[in-house]
Structure 1
Amino acid sequence: MIKITLPDGSVREFESGISGYDVALSISEGLARNVLAAKVNGQVVDASRPITQDATVQLLTWNDQEGKAVFWHSSAHLMAEALEALFPNVKFGIGPALENGYYYDVDLGGRSFSQDDFEAVEAKMLELARAKSEYVRKEVPKQEAIAYFTEKGDEYKLDLIDGLEDGQITFYSQGNFTDLCRGPHIPNTSFIKAVKLMNVAGAYWRGDQNNKQLTRIYGITFPKDKELKEYLMLLEEAKKRDHRKLGKELELFTFSEKVGMGLPLWLPKGTTLRERLEQFLRKAQVKAGYSPVVTPHIGSKELYVTSGHYEKYGADSFQPIKTPDATEEFLLKPMNCPHHCEIYKSKPRSYKDLPLRLAEFGTVYRYEQSGELHGLTRVRGFTQDDAHIFCRNDQVKEEFIKVIDLVLYVFNALGFTDYTAQISLRDPENKAKYIGADEDWEKAEAAIIESAHEKGLRTVTELGEAAFYGPKLDFMVKDALGRKWQLGTIQVDYQLPERFKLEYTGADNQKHRPVMIHRAPFGSLERFVAVLIEHCAGNFPLWLAPDQIAVLPISEKYADYAHELHARLMESDIRGIMDNRDEKIGRKIRDAEVHKIPFMLIVGEKEAAEGLVSVRKHGHGDLGSMTIDEFEAFFKKETAESLAQNTVAKH
C-alpha cells in the first residue's frame, strides 16, 4: 500500500500502481470525467501513469493552468495528425503549448499554407477528435527511435533525438499518428470539442536563421464550443484595446524607421503621461527614503565583465562602441545595477549608513531581433524605474517587505488589483546556470518566501526562473480582460556586492559585504504604459490623464471667456486643451470623446454671462452647469477618488 496526499492535506491509502485517474474515481465519477492529467510530487504526468510510492498528488482539470497546457499540447498532436492526413510527407519540428493555445512547426515540402487552409484542418481535427483515440505513451530505445524517424524521413525529429539518451526517449501515439514527445497528454482526443486555427507564420528551425524556415501554425482548442466563442469575443475586445492602435489615436507615441526599429518616440501627450507616472513614483520613493541618482547611457565593457552581465547577456547587447584610437570599449547601458554599485563604492560606508536606497529612471538598451519587437511591450530602448537597496544581512527581510508595500501601492493606485506573486527560485538540477555560494542562495530564497508569506500574498513558486545572480519575486498582474502580465519585480542579490568588492564597516569595526536588493515596481515605463493602456482601454485614471479637460466654446464669440477659463484651470493644475476650431459643438464633443478626455467644459452665451461651465463627463454625458469654483472643487474630489478607489487588492 502507498499513501497519497491530496492538496487539501488529506491522506488516502491505495495499492501501489494506482493511477491519477483511479484516485479521481475514488473521489467522484464527475471528477474522474474531467481529469486531464495528474501532478505527482510536483511533476505533471499522464492521468494513466502508475504511482508506485508515497506521493503528493494534484488532479489537473481544465480549471488549472497546467491542465490547460496538457490539453493544448495534446491538441498540437491532434493538429499534426490532421496535417499528416491532409498533406502526406509533412515533417514536424516542435509543437509546444503556449499560454493560450499551441503551435506546431512543420515542413510542408515547399507547399504553401495560408488561412485558406484553416477550415479543412479544423474540420479534420474535429473528425479525429470524435474518434476518441487514446494518447498512448511508449518508452523506446534510442536506436529504435532513430530507425522509426529514418524510415519516415523526418530529419527534424532525428535532430532532436541526437541529443537524447536511452531512458529519456518516449513516443506518444493517438489514432494513426506517432510523435517523439515527453508528454504528458490528456486521456483521449474526445476531450477536444472546439478548434480554431489562429495564425500562420515562418520560423527557423531551432531559431537559427541559418537553418531552414518552417511553417508555424498557431491554434487553440477548448472542451466546450461556448468557451471558444467567448475567447474569440475576448480577442475582438483586445483588438479594440491594442496599445499600438490606441497609442496612435490618443497621440501618445510613435515609431520611425529612420530613428530605428524598437526605439519609441514619445509625443507630447505620451510624455505628459509618462512624466506623471514618474512624479507619482518619485514622490512615493522620497517618502520611503530613496535617494535619486543619474548614470550615463553607456558604460565601459569592463564594467559589465566585472558584473557578469557581459558573459551571460553579451549576445543580447549591442556591439561595443570603440573610441577613435581603439583603446577603450563601451556598451550602450543594458542595465543600471553595475553603475549603482560604483556609486555605492564612491566613498567608505558604515553600518550606520545602511540601508542605502538609490533610485533612477534609467534608460537601457538591449538588442531584440526585429521579429520579436512589438509596440511598447518589446523594444530596444526602455526606461526602468530602477532602484537598488544596499543593506545588512539583518535588514534584508524588512527592506524586502517595504518594497512589496511600494509595489502594491503602485498597482492599487493604477487599478491593477488582481495579481499573483511568483517566487522565482534556482533550478536545483542545474545550479551551474547561477553564480554564488549555496549558502547565500538559501538565505536569499528564505527571505523572499518569508516576506511573501507575511504579506499574505497569493503566490506560485517557479523553479529555474531566478536571475543568474539571485532569486526574485515577480508580480503577475491580470488586466481587465483576464490576461496575465509580468510587471513589478524584486530581487535579492549576494553576488554583485561580491563581484564589485563592496564593503561597509560594521559595529565590530570589521569589513562586511552588503546585500543588494534590485526592484522595479513598473518594470519598464514602456511596457507598463502599454499594459495600462490595454487594461483601461485608454481611459486613464483622472489624476494620470494627459488631458483632463477640454474647454469647448460653442462659437468664436465666446473664445475670450474660454481662454480665461482655460488659463485659470491650468493655474489650478488642471491640465487640458481649448478647442477653438471653427467646428460645430457636436463635432468638438465627439472628438473629445474619441480622445477619451475625462471632462468637457462647454461654454456659450449663458456660461460667459454668468461665469459658469456646462460639464460633460466622458462616457457619462451631461452633468449640468457649475460655477468655476464648484467645478474645481468637484474636480479635486474626483481626482482624489481616482487615486483612492483601488485600495482593496485581490492578492
Structure 2
Amino acid sequence: MEIIIDEKKVQIKEPILVSELLEKNNIDNNKYVVKFGEVFLPNQAIVKKDCTLELIKIDNELLKKSNNYMSKLLMELSLLSSFNDLEVSIQNNDINKETCSAVFNTKDRLKKEELEVTTKKFIEIIKESKFEIINSNNFNNYYKKAQTLSKYNIEEIDFPSIKLDSFELIIRFPVLLSKYNNREVQILNFSGEYYNNDASELMLQKIDFVVANDKKQLAKIVKEIEEKKLRDHRYINENLEIFNIDPLIGLGLPFWLPNGAILKQEIKKFLKEKEFEYRFVQIESPVLGSKMLYETSGHWNHYRENMFAPIEMPDNETLVLRPMNCPHHVSVYKSKIRSYRDLPLRYAEHAIQHRYEFSGSLTGLERVRAMELTDSHIFVMPSQLKEEFINCYKLIGEVLTKFDIKIKYLSLSLRDPEDKHSYYDNDSMWNSAEAQLEDMLKELKLDYKKMVGEAAFYGPKLDIQVETALGHEITVSTIQLDFLLPEKFELEYINSEGKPEKPIMIHRGLVGTYERFVAILLEQTMGVLPLWCSPTQIAIIPVSEKYNDYCVEVEKQLHAKKIRCLISDKDDRLNNKIRNAITKKIPYIVVLGQKELENNSLTFRTYKNEEQIEMKVKDFINKVVDEYENRK
C-alpha cells in the first residue's frame, strides 16, 4: 500500500503503527504527530490502507490538549470502575487545552458527594499505572454505541484503546505518555449536558476538572480559571446589566436591556460614520426571504441545517428567516441595469438575521440564534478587487484599533477540496479565488494561518480571530471573496465597450454581529468601557440628602449636553454609593457637598484613578463633552 506523509510517498507491505511509520521516515514522534483529514491520530493507531497523512509539529497548545485528553480517559475509566451501569459519551469538541471533562450516563444519577471515590481512583490509576494500551476496539462502555462505532470505524485506520480491568475506551487523539506527569486532580463543576449539545437528546451528567503535577501547580491553575471566569462577559453582565435571555422568549434570543441598548446604539453610530467615511451606502431589507431565493443562492443546499424551519404560507409560498443577507443585497444590485461607472458599489446593512444553533452550544451573547450583523456586500470589476479588499481591511483595522480589540491571528480560510458537499463544486473557480486572496495577503505582508475546511461554501475568506475568556477562538471580522453568487444570480454590469460582464462580490463583516462584538468588548475591557459608549457616563453622589437639589441642577446641565448621568440619592452611606458606582464601572464619579455648592463646582474621580479633583461645573461639562463628542 502507498502512504503519503508530509507529501512524501512511502510504500508499505502490511498494516503499520503510526509510531513505526514515523520512525521509518526518520521523524521524531516526540516532536511530531499526524493527522488523517481532520482527525489527529495517536501513535498507537494502525494504518491499514492507502491514505494521505499530514505531519503536525507538537506545540504547547497540542501538548496541553494531549495532556487533558489523557486525563479525560483516565477519569472516564475511574468512573467506569467506580459505578455500575455507567456509560461514557463522546461529545462534539470535547478535547480542549483549558480544562478536562467527562460526560456520562447512569441508570441512577450520581450525586456530587459520590465523586470523591472517583478522584481517589483516578490518582490510584496514575500512581500504579494500572492501564494498558491495546490494539482493539470495544465500544461496550459507550453511550450511543452504534453512533460511536460508525464515527470511528474508519476504513484506513484502526484506533487503539486504553484498558483498565475489563473496561476499554477508544483513543482518538495523541496521548504522549512520556510527557504525562500529573499527580493531582480537582473537580471544578458537576453539571448536565445534552448528548452532542442537542436539546432533543438525553441530558447526561458532566464533570469538569483540572489536573496538575503537584498541589502548588494545581492551586495556580484553579486561580487562573477563576480569573478567566471574572472576564467572562456573562459574569460582567451581572453588574453592568447589558442583556438578558428569558427562556419564555426562547433560548438563544437575547434582548438588550436599557444599558445594552445604549451601548449598542453608540457603537452603531460610530460604525455607520466609519462606513460613510469609506463611501458605503446604507440599505435595508426584510428579515424573511423565499425558499426559492435560498435555493438559488445555494444556502438551502449548503447551509440548511443552520436555518430555522421554513414557514408555509396559505398561498403556497414558503418563507425562511434569513440566515444571511447576501441574497437580499444581490436583489438590490439586480433592481436596475448597472454600468462599469457604478462600480465599485458598496452596500452596507446592519441587519437582523437568524441561525439555528444547537441549544447546548448557546453561550450568552457569544453564540445566539437571533443577531444583528454589521454586514456589507461590495460589487466590483476584477480590476477593482485588490483596492477594495485593501480598503475593507483598512476600515476593519481602524475600527478594531478604536476599541483596542486584541487579535489572536488572521485565518486564510480555504475549502477542503475533498468535501464536495459543503463547498460548491467548481475547482477552477476555487483555485482562482484562493490564489487571488492569498496574493493580496502577501502583498499586504500579513501573517496568517491557512485553515483548510473553514471557507464559506461560495468562496475563500480572511477571518480575524480573537480568543474568548472561555478559550474559544471566534471570528470578529471577515472579508470574503465570492465568484459564485454573481454567477448563480446572473449578475451583470455593462463594460466600457457596451458588453455585459460579471462582477465579483466581496462580503465584509465589519465587527461581526453586535451580540458577539459586545461579548468580546466586555471581556477584553473587563467591562471598563470608554466614556463615549458607557451606558452611564457619570454617577452624581450627594454627600447628604440636603445636597440632592444641587445634584439635580448639575445633572440637568449635563443632560442638556446629552451626557448620561445617574443621581445616587438613595438613603445610604457615601462610601457605599461610591463603591456601587465603581462596581458599575461608571467612568466618572462626582461628589457634591457644601464646598461644591458654595463654589459652583464639583469634585470628581475616575473609575481608573482615585485622585479627587475639584473643578468648576462649566469646565467639567466642557471636558466631558469634548471627551464624548471626540470619542476619546
**Equivalent residue in structure 1 for 2:176, among 163, 169, 186:** 186
- Does the 8 A contact of 1:37 with 1:186 survive in 2? no
Task: State the shift of 1:466 in Å.
Answer: 1.4
Task: State the 1:133 CA deviation.
Answer: 6.8
> Which residue is equivalent to 1:474?
463
Q: Which residue, out of 51, 57, 60, partners 2:58? A: 60
Q: Distance in 1 between matches of 2:147 and 2:316?
A: 44
Distance 1:329 1:207, change over 3 A: same
Task: Work out whether residues 37 and 45 of structure 1, in 8 Å CA contact, stay in contact via their aligned partners in 2.
Answer: no
Tell me the CA shift for residue 46 of structure 1: 4.5
- Identify which of 42, 65, 84 aligns with 1:69: 65
User: C-alpha separation between the residues in 2 aligned to 1:54 and 1:360?
Assistant: 44
Change (3 A) 1:364 1:270: same
Aligned 1:481-500 pairs, distance under 5 A: 484-500=473-489
Deviations 1:274-320 (A, max 9, x none): 00110111111111111111111222222222212223333433333
Residue identity matched to 1:292: Q
1:44-80 C-alpha deviation (Å, 9 max, x unpaired): 55468899x999965414x2x2222222222222222
**Structure 1: gaps (5+ residues):** 6-15, 25-31, 644-651
Distance change >3 Å, CA 166–CA 296, structure 1 → 2 = closer
Distance 1:99 1:517 in 2: 35
For 1:87, the equivalent position in structure 2 comes to 83
Residue in 2 aligned with 1:38? 33
Pair 1:299-2:294 in alignment: no
Once residues 579 and 207 of structure 1 are traced to their aligned partners in structure 2, the CA distance between those partners, rounded to angstroms, is 44
Q: Distance in 2 between matches of 1:395 and 1:570?
A: 47
In structure 2, what is the equivalent of residue 12 of structure 1? none
TM-aligned CA deviation for residue 601 of structure 1: 1.8
RMSD (Å) for aligned C-alpha atoms: 3.7
Contact kept, 8 Å, 2:195 with 2:203, in 1: the verdict is yes
State which of 113, 123, 127 in structure 2 corresponds to 1:126. 123
CA contact (8 A) 2:350 2:374 kept: yes
2:34/2:53 contact within 8 Å kept: no
- Kindly tell me: are residues 94 and 386 of structure 1, through their superposed partners in 2, closer, same or farther at Cα, counting changes over 3 Å? same
Q: Is residue 128–residue 189 contact of structure 1 (8 Å, CA) maintained in 2? A: no
Corresponding residue number in structure 2 for 1:510: 499
Which stretch has the larger CA shift, 604-613 or 559-568? Answer: 559-568
Question: How far apart in 2 are the matches of 1:373 and 1:458?
Answer: 31
**Structure 1 position 137, deviation (Å):** 6.2
1:506 Cα deviation (Å)?
Answer: 1.9
Aligned to 2:598: 609
Q: Distance in 1 between matches of 2:304 and 2:46?
A: 45
Aligned-residue offset at 1:100: 2.8
TM-score computed with the length of structure 1 as normaliser: 0.83
2:241 equivalent to 1:243: no
Matches within 5 A, 1:206-217: 214-217=204-207
Q: Give the distance between the partners of 2:544 and 2:58, measured in 1 at CA.
A: 65
What is the rounded CA distance, in whole Å, between the counterparts of 1:402 and 1:326 in structure 2? 45
Rounded Cα–Cα distance in structure 2 between residues aligned with 1:166 and 1:237: 45
1:36, 1:67 within 8 Å by CA — same for their partners in 2?
A: no
CA drift of 1:340 comes to 0.6
Alpha-carbon contact 1:497-1:516 (below 8 Å) kept: yes
Partner amino acid, structure 2, of 1:459: Y
CA distance in 2, matches of 1:626, 1:307: 61
- Match of 2:72, as an amino acid? A
Distance 1:482 1:183, change over 3 A: closer
1:29 aligns to what? none
Bigger shift: 325-334 or 348-357? 325-334
User: Aligned equivalents of 2:437 and 2:214: distance in 1?
Assistant: 40
Give the corresponding residue for 1:449: 438
Identity rate, percent: 32
Residue 481 (structure 1) shift: 8.4
Partner of 1:422: 411
Higher mean alpha-carbon deviation, 242-251 vs 220-229, is at 220-229
Pick which of 404-413 and 163-172 moved more. Answer: 163-172
Check the 8 A contact 1:37/1:47 in 2, yes or no. no
- Cα distance in structure 2, aligned partners of 1:423 and 1:224: 40
Structure-2 change in CA distance of 1:582 and 1:190 (3 Å): closer
Alignment partner of 2:96 out of 98, 102, 105: 98
Task: Write the distance in 1 (CA, Å) between the matches of 2:294 and 2:237.
Answer: 35
SS of residue matched to 1:601: strand
Residues 562 and 296 of structure 1: is their aligned pair in 2 closer, same or farther, counting only changes over 3 Å? Answer: same
Quote how far apart the aligned CAs of 1:36 are. Answer: 7.1
Greater alpha carbon shift after TM alignment, 597-606 vs 573-582: 573-582
2:528 is aligned, of 516, 528, 539, to 539
- Alignment-derived partner of residue 19 in structure 1: 23
Q: Which residue of 2 aligns with 1:276?
A: 266
Matches of 2:212 and 2:164, distance apart in 1: 20
SS at match of 1:244: helix
Task: Kindly provide the amino acid, as one letter, of the partner of residue 173 in structure 2.
Answer: G
Q: Which residue of 2 aligns with 1:259?
A: 249
Return the letter of the residue paired with 2:515.
Answer: E
Task: Specify the SS of the correspondent of 2:398.
Answer: helix
Q: Which residue of the other structure, out of 112, 115, 136, is the alignment partner of 2:112?
A: 115
Give CA deviations for 1:23-48 in whole Å, capped at 9, x if unaligned: 65xxxxxxx9xx47535899855468
Tell me, what secondary structure is at the counterpart of 2:475? strand
Alignment of 1:270-419 (within 5 A): 270-323=260-313, 325-419=314-408
Query: 1-side partners of 2:478 and 2:429: how far apart?
Result: 20
Paired AA for residue 355 in structure 2: R
Seen in structure 2, the aligned counterparts of structure 1 residues 413 and 218 have a Cα distance that, compared at 3 Å, is same
Q: 1:510 to 1:196 in 2, by over 3 A?
A: farther
CA contact (8 A) 1:416 1:478 kept: no
- After TM superposition, the score normalised by the length of structure 2 is 0.85
- SS of the equivalent of 1:269 reads helix
Q: How many residues in Structure 1 have an aligned counterpart in Structure 2? A: 611
Instruction: Provide the C-alpha distance between the structure 1 equivalents of 2:305 and 2:613, rounded to a whole number of angstroms.
Output: 60
Q: CA deviation at 1:521?
A: 2.6
SS in 2 for 1:123: helix
User: How much has 1:22 moved relative to structure 2?
Assistant: 7.8
In structure 2, C-alpha distance between the alignment counterparts of 1:168 and 1:377, rounded to whole Å: 36
AA matched with 1:38: V
- Structure 1 residues 236 and 305 mapped into 2: Cα distance closer, same or farther (>3 Å)? same
The 3 A distance-change label for structure 1 pair 451 and 637 is farther
Q: Is the 8 A contact 1:612 1:627 kept in 2?
A: yes
Q: How far apart, CA to CA, are the structure 1 residues paired with 2:309 and 2:35?
A: 46
How big is each residue's C-alpha offset from its partner over 1:450-496, in whole Å with a ceiling of 9 and x where there is no partner? 33334444422221111222222222214578764432222222222
Deviations 1:538-558 (A, max 9, x none): 211222211111222334544
CA contact (8 A) 1:420 1:457 kept: no
User: Which of residues 548, 553, 568 in structure 1 aligns to 2:557?
Assistant: 568
Over 3 Å counting, the alpha-carbon distance change for 1:330 and 1:157 in structure 2 is closer
Measured after TM superposition, the shift of residue 222 of structure 1 is: 4.4
The 8 Å contact of residues 240 and 584 in structure 2, kept in 1 or not, is answered as: yes
